[in-house]
Each structure stands twice: as structure tokens, then as C-alpha cells.
Structure 1
Amino acid sequence: MAPSEGSTVRGARGVEQRNVTHVDFLCKALRLEEMQAKLRQRAHDVSELGLNASPQMKAQMTVLCDKLASGLRQHYETLAEVAPQLMNSGHQVLPDAPHADEILLPSRLTPDQVDNMSLRELLELEVQLRVIHAYDAIASLKKALAMRSFWTRHFKAQYSSQGKRTKGQASLRSCQARVKEASRAYSACYEWLTKSAPEVAENFGLQKLCNRDLMLLSEYLEQQHYRQNGRRLSWIWTLRPKFSAADDVDESPDSLKAVVESWQNEFTRLEYVHARAAVDRWTEEVKILECEMPAVVRWFEKEAMRWSCMSSGQGDDAGFRAYTCRQFSLYQTLADHALEVFTAVTGGEEAWDSIWDNPKIGNDDEGSAPMDVDNGT
């Protein structure tokens, strides 16, 4: 290989290695930005709860704060290597408080500063990665909204007799927190993207995220908001990823219908999965009850017969006979009352006779044997 060719190869490798270093540095910085948004959201939630904030929430916030502080130290160490000219220009290259640090990047600088310090290439790379990061944040937001829609329905359907702390309520709060965190992450990314390259954000279809954009898709469909003037579907549900700003996006009615239908199918899938699980669980409960109800009646009758036999086999002891007769009457009354109640709840005498004659538990298709209630097996 000629010396000139070798130097050209080494130069190309050097440029490639530098680009990889820059991409890795910017990806970690955007991840820190997302962590900072999550930290601010959790700090806001803790301050809203005040004394009601749980120790677990405070501990999680402390862990996140320490992790962010460690990442910020590494960020500024790498920044001094990637862009040493920032140190010579008087910019602060030391981390501030985790929740207040601006996470110094080319997008934080003015256009003149970017040109004077030869950071235009790094800024263009940051803009490209920010667009990708914004799309990821919107995807996470839509998933969180889908789960919030599902748990909202199930939360409203819970019985009033249930306790305040239920799985549905905990899951709903978790989904609401995910929606807030994804919203903050996108808003932080979009803010710096519009400051450094507003035309790029517009060309890629990115917009400012408002509270009205967080409408549940199921609410938009079920309440027929699309029939009302001025109530268009939120842009986050129609946003399509593009490889470049020049790519055309199909905004025809058929395209919009396909987007809405795809998300509606996702809701239907979630509803089916959870409904099927609930059906299987309650079917199992019904089978257990169909086994336990005849067992209860048979046990009462068995106890009544036992005390009746004891009463007839003890001669002339009046006190003992009176006690055994009382016990016999007690258990016989319990058996009659249970039989009356169980017959009513099972749907009548015909349904009860079917359960009484075939007390089974488990899956009948697998050949499960009747349970011997007298022997307790």
C-alpha cells in the first residue's frame, strides 16, 4: 500500500471514530435530558403530595438524582474532550445541581457562537438525534395513553365495596405518571430543537405538546369528537415517522382512518386479553363454589345425622338426649337454610340438582373426578 493510501485510510478511520464518539456523546446527553425531565416531574409530584408523599417516592427520587448527578459529571468530562474550545471561550464546563443544570450542548449556544467555535457539524448531528428522540418520546406517550385508557375504564367499573388501595388504582396512577414523564421528555427535547432548528421541527411534523393533545383516543372515538367543528384528532395520533424532511406524508382521509383504526384495534386487543383473563378467573371461582355449596349442605346433614344417632343410643339420660336433640335441630336448620339459599342463587331446583349430583372441580375436559366431600378429598 502506498504511503498516501495508508494516510487516507487512517484519516477516514479517524473521522469515522470521531463521528461515533460524537453520536455516543449526544445520545447520552439526550438521555440525561430525559432523566432530568423525569426528576423534575417527580419533584413536582412530591411537592404536590406534601406530607402524604410516601418514603418510597422520596427514595426513588433520591436515587434518580444521584444517577443524574453522576451522568452530568461524565457528560462534562466528555464535553471537554469533544469540544475543548468551549473551555477557552469561558463557558461553564462543570455540572450544576442535577435538577437545574442546563446540560451544555451546541443547541444551547447562539448561531454566532456555534460558527465561531466550529460546532456547526456537531449541532447538525444533535438536531438529527433530537428528531429521533422526539419521535421515541411520542411513541412512549401514545403507549402510556393507551394503558391509561384501559385502566381508566376498569377503575370506573370497580365495585364500591373494594378498598381504596386496589391493583387497578395503582396501575392507573402508574400510567398517569408515565404520561407526565413522557410529556416532559418530549417538551424538553422539542424546546431546544425549535431554538436551534425550528424549520426542521416543522418539516418533520413536530409540534408543541398541549394538554388538549393528551386526549384518550377511545374518548375521541366513543364521544364522536370528530363530528364536532374544531375538534380534530390530536396530531400525536397521526404523526408518521419520516426518514428525512423531504419525505411526503399521506394526509388523506383514508390514511387518517387507517391510523385511528390501528389504535382502535390495539385497544380491542387489550380489552380482549384482560376480559379473557377475568372470564377464566371467575369461571374457576364458579367451579369452586359449585363444589363447596353441596359440600356445605352435606356436612350439615352429616352432623345432624351424627347427633341423631348419638341421641338414640344413650338410654334414658334426659339431659344428654336434650343436648343431642338441640344439636340435631341446629345442624338440620343450617342444612335446610343453606339448601334454600343455594337453590335460589344457582337458578332453581333443576340447576341445583345438577350441581348436587355432579360436584366437580377443575377442567371437565381433562377428566377431573368428582370430589368426595364426605372424605374431604
Structure 2
Amino acid sequence: MNRQFKEYPTDARNADIAKLCKKLQDDIDRWRKQQLECWPKLQHFVINQKVIEPENESLYLPSDFQSPVERTDFGLEEAGLLEMQLREGEANDALEAIRLAIKQLALDVQYKKKEVTGQKDSTRAHDELKRKCAARNKYVIKYRQAFRAMIRLGMVEGQTPHKELKDSDLRIKGMTGAGELGEGTKEESWIWSAMFDPSLPVSQRTEWENEFDRVRWFRAKANKDRWEEEIDILEEEFQRTKRSFARMEQVWKALAHVCDDTAEGWGKRAYAHQQVGMYQLLNKRAHGDFLKTKSHKPIPALAGFVAV
């Protein structure tokens, strides 16, 4: 029934759509009047535009003209600066909504895995997840539109906190006690640290958001402590291995000195010196590997987190 309803809207639904289209067209007409009063040079574009649906009509904002020369010719320089500020705010709002939606989805997925059983409840939970994914994707589209507009207005990517939002960025780490295989080598998505204002009052954040971030922070800290402990253990194992190789080198050197000058003794002495060389080489390799591991910087476990 749901599929049929989506593919074949009812008469009432069609009437609602027509009403919304009429309202949108009225808003565009009012905008056209103000637009042509401020920028009469755009009249040529407005008159020659052939669009049937109002939702597909171009508004001819400054971001619709990628060339700075065109914006200058049409007198859109100041409007371009104003649109850049508005687009930046739009991108920030969309990004905040995306972060909130990802948190909600992560909690719902975790709850579904642990608590939901049975076909009926699983289907209902799956439909709810699809609905929330669709809501998240609306904000993703809004951010990408704002980002593309800022690029056309002259924003240089890499010089601002805003970045291209990829599907791989729509994730969050640290939702389960034990991370998935390979998760420790992955860095946190940039969306969790971009434009974060540490001076934001706690009262402006919901209680469950604070609890969510607090749990993630302590899980990340626990992982960090375990990794540091593993590093200490491995370093000590390296040192014990080196001491073991050095000790065996001394043992075989001592055995080489006690061999007599008979043919059999010369053979034993040659074998002892061979063992000495082997343990010297092993000790040298172990020392080199130890220096390599010391030169590697560990991945920051708490990147993107704020202590709450």
C-alpha cells in the first residue's frame, strides 16, 4: 500500500502539491520584482528563461554566475558577499543537523541490534531507520548545495573549515565498546571537528547529546589508555629481546674460547663464531626495528572529542 501511495498520489495529495507549487510561484514572482528593481541587467535572463515547474526555475543569484567578471558586469558584487555569508550560515546549520542525525541513527542502529527481535518489530525498526536516513540525506543535499554555491562565489577549499562532504564522511566512531576490525587506524570524520565552538554553552545542547558525547569520549580515552599500555609492553619486549640476543652472543663467544686446538675443536669454534655473528645481526635488526616503531607517531585517539 505504501508503494502504491508513493507512485500514485491521491487527489488530495495532488491538490496539496498544486497548492504548494502555487505558493512557491507567488514567492518567486515577488522575488523577481525586487530582483529587477535592484539589478535591471538581469532582465534578459529572466525573460528568456523557459521553465514550466517553479521548483526548477533559476533564481539568478550571484552564485549562479561563476565568473567574477559576470557578477561585476551585472552589479552583483555586494550581493555576492552577502550571499556568501548566508551560504556559510546555511552550511553550518546543515552540518549541525547532519551531526545530530548521524548520532540519532547510530543510537537507533545500536538499539536495533541489541533489543529488536522478531520479523514485525525488525521491519518496523528498519522502516524507521530508512526514514531517518532520508531526513539526514536532505541536510546532506542542503550542505552540498551551499558548498557548491560558496565555491562558485570564490571560496577556496582548504582555506576555510568547509570541505566537500562525501558519503564516507557520514560516519561516527566509538559507538560500541569494541571497535570493528581496522577502526583504530581510521581517523574521525572531519565533520566532528569542523567549526566546533568550545565556548558554546552546555545549555544550548540537549541532555542526550551531552551524554552521547560523554560516552564516546570515555570510550576513546579507554582505548587510548589501552594503546599506550600496549606500546609500553611492546617496548619492554623489544628491550628484553635485545638483551636476550646480546646475552646469547656473549655465551657463544665464551664457548668459542674454551674449544681446544684439535680438528673437532676448530669445527666447534667455527660454529660458535657463526652463532655469534647470527645473534649480532639479530640484535642489530631488533634495534633498527625498535627505532622505526619509535619514530611512528600514534594516531590521536581523542581527535574531534571535547571533554565534557
**TM-score w.r.t. structure 2 length?**
0.54
| CA-to-aligned-CA distance 1:43-91 (integer Å, 9 cap, x gap) | xxxxxxxx96252685698646752552244134323323433465511
Could you tell me which residue of structure 2 aligns to residue 163 of structure 1?
120
Q: Give the 5 Å matches for 1:23-62.
A: 53-55=3-5, 58=9
Shift of 1:239: 0.8
Would you say the 8 A contact 1:146–1:267 is kept in 2?
no
Q: Identity across aligned pairs (percent)?
A: 15
After TM superposition, the structure 1 stretch with the greater mean CA deviation from structure 2, 204-213 or 89-98, is: 89-98
Q: Within the alignment, does 1:209 sit opposite 2:165 as a pair?
A: yes
Flag the structure with larger Rg: 1
Distance in structure 2 (CA, Å) of the matches to 1:146 and 1:122: 36
Q: Within the alignment, does 1:91 sit opposite 2:48 as a pair?
A: no
Shift of 1:143: 0.8
Distance 1:76 1:124, change over 3 A: farther
Q: Within the alignment, does 1:123 sit opposite 2:80 as a pair?
A: yes
| CA-to-aligned-CA distance 1:247-289 (integer Å, 9 cap, x gap) | xx9xxxxxxxxxxxx968326689xxxxxxxxxxxxxxxxxxx
Shift of 1:166: 5.4
Could you tell me which residue of structure 2 aligns to residue 74 of structure 1?
27
Distance in structure 1 (CA, Å) of the matches to 2:13 and 2:144: 21
Q: Quick one: higher RCO (CA 8 Å, sep 6+), 1 or 2?
A: 2
Distance in structure 2 (CA, Å) of the matches to 1:202 and 1:185: 20
Q: Give the 5 Å matches for 1:146-295.
A: 146-163=103-120, 167-199=124-156, 202-219=158-175, 222-223=178-179, 227-228=184-185, 231-240=186-195, 265-266=211-212
Could you tell me which residue of structure 2 aligns to residue 102 of structure 1?
58
Shift of 1:217: 3.4
Distance 1:64 1:153, change over 3 A: farther
Aligned residues: CA RMSD? 3.7
| Code of the aligned partner of 1:82 | Q
1:163 aligns to what SS in structure 2?
A: helix
| Code of the aligned partner of 2:211 | N
Shift of 1:172: 1.5
Shift of 1:103: 3.1
Distance in structure 2 (CA, Å) of the matches to 1:61 and 1:145: 31
Shift of 1:192: 1.3
Distance in structure 2 (CA, Å) of the matches to 1:65 and 1:153: 41
Would you say the 8 A contact 2:42–2:74 is kept in 1?
no
Could you tell me which residue of structure 2 aligns to residue 145 of structure 1?
102
**TM-score w.r.t. structure 1 length?**
0.45
Q: Which runs of 4+ in 1 moved over 4 A?
A: 56-66, 86-89, 93-96, 164-167, 219-222, 267-270
| Code of the aligned partner of 1:266 | F
After TM superposition, the structure 1 stretch with the greater mean CA deviation from structure 2, 183-192 or 51-60, is: 51-60
Structure 2: runs of 5+ lacking an equivalent: 199-207, 217-308
Distance 1:159 1:127, change over 3 A: closer
Distance 1:220 1:112, change over 3 A: farther
Would you say the 8 A contact 2:36–2:42 is kept in 1?
no
Would you say the 8 A contact 1:80–1:87 is kept in 2?
no
Would you say the 8 A contact 2:41–2:74 is kept in 1?
no
2:128 aligns to what SS in structure 1?
A: helix
| CA-to-aligned-CA distance 1:102-136 (integer Å, 9 cap, x gap) | 33211102322211121111111000010000000
Shift of 1:195: 1.1
Shift of 1:185: 1.0
Report the number of matched residues.
200
Distance 1:217 1:188, change over 3 A: same
Distance 1:233 1:172, change over 3 A: same
Distance in structure 2 (CA, Å) of the matches to 1:263 and 1:211: 23
Would you say the 8 A contact 2:105–2:132 is kept in 1?
yes
Shift of 1:213: 0.2
Structure 1: runs of 5+ lacking an equivalent: 1-50, 243-248, 250-261, 271-377
Could you tell me which residue of structure 2 aligns to residue 365 of structure 1?
none
1:198 aligns to what SS in structure 2?
A: coil
